[in-house]
């Protein structure tokens, strides 16, 4: 008599994990950084996305390069990093438009108060905001705010956040509560890389 399933020693399959290899195979993602201490977390995010098969292009504001060097992200993504509106690696005539049309999703992590203000008011004086402005209206834009708790509570910042929430293609994640670089605790920490990755997976389903 054949053994029942309960009597066998075969392992029970685990449910599919959002972090499993290949979950983002071939998906084109633009990862953008503005200037905040949380830039170090974005290195982990890029690594996680690449490990899951994503084709990642990194963009950095000039301020972001003071926290983590572009070479770090070039090594992790395997592609040149865009740091200037004048750079022309792949699209000599309109690099920002080319990247905006190429990506299936753009994530800005960390998104500082300054970058959030620019996005809310349509200012495009750096490569990150320029590409974000050029995104097709149906391309998801994921924003991960990161700043001091008092800055996050500022009424102008909250007004800008409210403006971004009205955009049909815009999703916000965080910020989280916790210890901050200013040596205080409160809201403003950028969400963890794994949490951002999971939202990316959901948006690209």
Q: How far apart are CA 152 and CA 184, in angstroms?
A: 13
Tell me if residue 182 is catalytic: yes
Two tokens, residue 76: 């992790």
Selecting among 39, 103, 133, 182, the annotated active-site residue is 182
Q: How far apart are CA 197 and CA 136, in angstroms?
A: 22
Contact yes or no for 139/160 (Cβ under 8 A): no
Q: Which of 141, 175, 181, 142 is nearest to 158 (CA)?
A: 175
Contact yes or no for 119/132 (Cβ under 8 A): yes
Residues involved in catalysis: 182
């Amino acid at each position: 008599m054949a053994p029942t399933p309960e009597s066998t020693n075969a392992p029970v399959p685990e449910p599919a994990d959002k972090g499993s290899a290949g979950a983002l195979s071939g998906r084109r993602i633009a990862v953008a950084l503005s200037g905040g201490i949380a830039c170090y977390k974005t290195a982990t995010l890029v690594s996680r996305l690449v490990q899951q098969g994503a084709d990642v292009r990194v963009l950095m504001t000039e301020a972001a390069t003071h926290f983590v060097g572009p070479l770090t992200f070039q090594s992790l993504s395997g592609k040149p990093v865009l740091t200037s509106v004048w750079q022309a690696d792949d699209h000599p005539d309109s690099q920002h438009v080319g990247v905006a049309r190429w990506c299936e999703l753009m994530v800005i992590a960390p998104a500082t108060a300054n970058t959030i203000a620019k996005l809310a008011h349509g200012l495009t004086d750096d490569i990150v905001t320029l590409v974000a402005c050029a995104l097709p209206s149906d391309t998801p834009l994921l924003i991960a705010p990161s700043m001091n708790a008092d800055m996050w509570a500022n009424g102008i910042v909250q007004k800008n956040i409210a403006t971004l929430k009205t955009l049909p293609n815009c999703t916000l994640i965080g910020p989280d509560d916790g210890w901050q670089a200013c040596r205080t605790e409160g809201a403003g920490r950028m969400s963890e890389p794994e949490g951002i990755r999971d939202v990316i997976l959901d948006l690209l389903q």
